[in-house]
Structure 1
Amino acid sequence: MADFNTMRAQVSGARAEQIDTGLRAHMNKVYGTMSVGMLITGAAAWAIAGLATTTDPSAAAAQLPNGTYLNGLGSAIYMSPLRWVIMFAPLAFILFGWGALMRRASAAGVQLGFFIFAAAIGLSLSSIFLVFTSFSIAQTFLVTAIAFGGLSLYGYTTKKDLSGMGTFLIMGVIGLLVAMIVNIFLQSPAMMFAISAIGVLIFAGLTAFYTQQIKSEYVQHAMAGDQEWLDKAAIDGALSLYISFLNMFQFLLMFMGQQE
């Protein structure tokens, strides 16, 4: 990744001011799109958790620790083999579908794809409302938001080139995924604790890295006048930061969440 300050020094005057103004608008779109995605995820998770539970024992498929019951929908989502599809479908989309969508779809199509993905994440994340108290979920979200804001601000303002740690962090994510899949079968609390701690650190680093990458890539393509790319790039950047935020939240919830 080219250094932002080096690229910025190649232009001056009105052109430099135009790029700076465009960069601010671009970053606002990134954060705005990411925020809408988070709202969709939260609303979907809360709504689905409500639809999947009942207080009527006669219509129950299973009892939950908080005194409510899973209904037929809840049983299908959380207890049947369908839960594996719900769990891994978003990952499959990121690995195999997102790149194709970025290449072939319009900016509006890419944005719609992102929002559908956010809703699917809400479905897979809905079980947290059955396990953790609403207060601890809100508390963890607030802590994550504060940490994310600080890390993203660092990535945006630092003059240090963070591209060198990008490959290392991505390799860490791959190792983390493997460890999580293994622990599905092992069910080791100690391993889950280690995964959570390492996961927070990895996605904290990725938040700063992705922010700097979004900034530098914008300047690079703006200087080339690649408007078609810029229309989609904000959504791609929003997805990267959305994933970092969401994973930090989930791993922090393992530490801070209070169970029902």
Structure 2
Amino acid sequence: MNYNDYELQDLTADQQLSMSAAFPVLMRKVYVWMTLALVITGFTSYGVATSPGILQAIYGNQILFWGLIIAEFALVIGVSAAINKLSLTTATLMFILYSVINGALLSCIFLLYTSSSIATVFFITAGTFATMALIGYTTKTDLTSIGKYLFMALIGLIIATLVNVFIKSSGFTLILSYIGVLIFVGLTAYDSQKIKQMLLQAPDAGEGAQKVALLGALTLYLDFINLFLYMLRIFGRRD
């Protein structure tokens, strides 16, 4: 059961004290882990992009390329589905490994777009993300129903993107990019509220609660990366 602002008023003083002690620590961990993962992804991406040998090994070898993509999916599914069975250390290492692999695969953006436009879009994304995360964190409106529609829209976006792989329409790609931005702007607010509600229920900052925080960090990391990529397709310069 999720606590809202009114239900929190009915908790005992001891329960509120326990929450007030654990909650800031856990929320801080969410954003520290997310930021760390973004830094690792950024450095890995740039490092691979400036290393012709590694770049050729990844994009010149279809087995390695698809192996990394499969590994990405396996890591996300593994962390999400087996979080209760994994130790905090193992789950954290899997998250770090995922951010490294994602960075390696995203190295191609440095070949497609100028460095200045990548930096500009990154800061635009960071500002948009921070604003929506703050809205999701502070709003008293329940975003659950909105979240359900956003997930349905996300499924539609994925299907439309797969279709566009075959029709290869640049106009359709641009339309999908705008839709993608709207979806992940909304998901950022929704996920921020959901993470806050889950961590408010944590009795302490033990390993179990920290694993929930880690999952929250992974969720927001994915929101940020996807928002960045869709914005890059809209605002990124290729010359």
Pairing of 1:74-223 with structure 2 (within 5 A): 74-82=55-63, 83-94=65-76, 96-222=77-203
Is the Cα contact below 8 Å between 1:37 and 1:115 reproduced in 2? yes
> Which structure carries more relative contact order (alpha carbon 8 Å, separation 6+)?
2
Match of 2:236 in 1: 257
Alpha-carbon distance change, 220 to 18 in structure 1, aligned in 2, over 3 angstroms: closer
Q: Distance in 1 between matches of 2:14 and 2:75?
A: 41
Q: Structure 2-normalised TM-score?
A: 0.91
Q: Structure 1-normalised TM-score?
A: 0.84
Match of 1:235 in 2: 214
- 1:25-66: CA deviation from partner (whole Å, max 9, x where unpaired): 1111100000000000001100011112xxxxxxxxxxxxxx
Match of 2:15 in 1: 15
Is the Cα contact below 8 Å between 2:75 and 2:94 reproduced in 1? no
Could you tell me how far 1:231 is from its partner in structure 2?
A: 2.0
Is the Cα contact below 8 Å between 1:200 and 1:248 reproduced in 2? yes
Alpha-carbon distance change, 221 to 18 in structure 1, aligned in 2, over 3 angstroms: closer
Could you tell me how far 1:76 is from its partner in structure 2?
A: 3.7
Q: Distance in 1 between matches of 2:29 and 2:141?
A: 24
Could you tell me how far 1:256 is from its partner in structure 2?
A: 1.1
Q: Distance in 2 between matches of 1:113 and 1:48?
A: 20
2:201 aligned counterpart, secondary structure: helix
Is the Cα contact below 8 Å between 1:7 and 1:220 reproduced in 2? no
Residue 227 of structure 2 corresponds to residue 244 of structure 1: no
One-letter amino acid of the counterpart of residue 257, structure 1: G
Q: Distance in 2 between matches of 1:85 and 1:7?
A: 47
Q: Once the two structures are aligned, what percentage of the paired residues are identical?
A: 35
Could you tell me how far 1:80 is from its partner in structure 2?
A: 4.0
Match of 1:28 in 2: 28
Is the Cα contact below 8 Å between 1:8 and 1:219 reproduced in 2? no
Could you tell me how far 1:87 is from its partner in structure 2?
A: 4.0
Q: Distance in 2 between matches of 1:75 and 1:116?
A: 21
Q: Distance in 2 between matches of 1:88 and 1:147?
A: 30
Structure 2: 5+ residue stretches without partners: none
Could you tell me how far 1:190 is from its partner in structure 2?
A: 1.4
Q: Distance in 2 between matches of 1:32 and 1:217?
A: 17
- Tell me the matched-pair count: 238
One-letter amino acid of the counterpart of residue 102, structure 1: I
Alpha-carbon distance change, 74 to 239 in structure 1, aligned in 2, over 3 angstroms: same
Is the Cα contact below 8 Å between 1:151 and 1:204 reproduced in 2? yes
2:226 aligned counterpart, secondary structure: helix
Q: Distance in 1 between matches of 2:15 and 2:166?
A: 57
Could you tell me how far 1:120 is from its partner in structure 2?
A: 0.8
Is the Cα contact below 8 Å between 2:27 and 2:199 reproduced in 1? no
Q: Distance in 1 between matches of 2:103 and 2:2?
A: 35
Residue 28 of structure 2 corresponds to residue 49 of structure 1: no
One-letter amino acid of the counterpart of residue 8, structure 2: R
Which is further off, 21-30 or 7-16?
Answer: 7-16
Is the Cα contact below 8 Å between 2:22 and 2:202 reproduced in 1? no
Is the Cα contact below 8 Å between 2:184 and 2:223 reproduced in 1? yes
- 1:133-169: CA deviation from partner (whole Å, max 9, x where unpaired): 1111111010111111110001111000111112211
1:221 aligned counterpart, secondary structure: coil
Greater Rg by CA: 1
Could you tell me how far 1:4 is from its partner in structure 2?
A: 2.2
